[in-house]
Structure 1
Amino acid sequence: MQIVGLVIAALIAAADQALKYYIVTNYRLGEVHDVMPGLFSFTYIQNNGAAWNILSGKMWFFYVVSAVAIAVVLYYYFNKNYSHWMFKSGLVLVLGGIIGNLIDRLHLKYVIDMIQLNFVQFNIFNLADAAITVGVILIFSYLLFIERED
């Protein structure tokens, strides 16, 4: 059953890469298109840092952090002591997101971002970032509210 989670992580990374490919082949850098007016737009940017472009240009740092994060996620994913669906789902989402962004960093030396929320002032992000965020929320929710009961 653990193979299913790894396949889902691979599908998340593939979907992230597919959207990035679509953006790169159909948009000019900085170009904006409303997808759902008032809700979100696609805005093609290149980010060579992390959120808010912190640590800009420090690719080796991101390679090391990604490798360590993947190792930690896989350790917990295969650890029999952590079998709750919420924890495992969070790990799968985080893994898929890390891989999606790592592919960009290895191949391009920057990450392609494109999703801009129009109803709030927030950084432009990508599917990998969204997967990581939702995954972390699931992991913390499990650790804060469910693990204590188990």
Structure 2
Amino acid sequence: MLIYYIISLIIVGIDQLTKYLTVQNIPLHETLEVIPSVLSFTYHQNTGAAWSILEGQMIFFYIVTLIVVGVIIYYMHTQGKNDKFFAFSLSLILGGAIGNFIDRLFLQYVVDMIRVEFIDFPIFNVADMSLTVGVALMLIYLFFDEWKEYRQKKVGTK
């Protein structure tokens, strides 16, 4: 289990480092083009969740994040030890949740910086990417776990 907590800590470290570098090197709302018309870094302060929903509701975010972290740790110890894929997805979610929680706790907003230029998509950060990939992997795990269970029941009824 320790390896999955280390993965989470690495994600938090990378997330906080990229946010620090953004704040130190890019003025607020300014853009630094990395790959023209594809990728840029734009320093943005988000007081809400994804797509800036629930702006300014910090107490709500504190409570929800603490509950989510508690649930993740619980599942990491009860279910994660049985499946590495599931534990890995939980570690990505945990790292992302803690990365954004640190910002909310100390700054009262989340530092976002990654901007995909070729589509109209909100600016995001490393923690957001980790959360998204973690949730996607968890959905894949749950789908295949249900399918496996269905197949076992189907074989058992013959």
Identify whether the pair has TM-score above 0.5, normalized to the shorter chain: yes
Higher Rg:
2
Alpha-carbon deviation of 1:23?
0.3
Is the deviation greater in 73-82 or in 59-68?
Answer: 73-82
CA shift at 1:83, angstroms? 2.2
What per-residue deviation string (whole Å, max 9, x for no partner) do you get for residues 52-92 of structure 1?
11110000000000000001111111114762222111100
- Aligned pairs (5 A) from 1:53-72: 53-72=52-71
CA distance, structure 2, for counterparts of residue 80 and residue 143 of structure 1: 12
The aligned residue for residue 94 of structure 1 is 93
RMSD, aligned α-carbons = 1.3
Report the counterpart of residue 5 of structure 2 in structure 1.
6
Rounded to whole Å, the distance in 1 between the matches of 2:66 and 2:16 is: 19
Larger relative helix fraction: 2
Q: Which amino acid aligns with 2:10?
A: L
Q: After TM superposition, which residue ranges in structure 1, 4 or more long, deviate above 6 angstroms?
A: none
TM-score by length of structure 2 reads: 0.90
Q: TM-score, normalised by structure 1?
A: 0.95
The corresponding residue for 1:31 is 30
Amino acid at match of 2:47: N
Could you give the per-residue CA deviations for residues 83-142 of structure 1, whole angstroms, max 9, x where no partner exists?
Answer: 222211110000000000000000000000000011111000000000000000000100
Q: CA–CA distance in 2 between the matches of 1:119 and 1:140?
A: 27
Q: Which runs of 5+ in 1 are unaligned?
A: none
Q: Which amino acid aligns with 1:16?
A: D
The 1-side partners of 2:39 and 2:131 are apart by 19
Quick one: distance in 2 between partners of 1:112 and 1:59? 14
**Alpha-carbon contact 2:85-2:141 (below 8 Å) kept:** yes
Q: Which residue of 1 aligns with 2:42?
A: 43
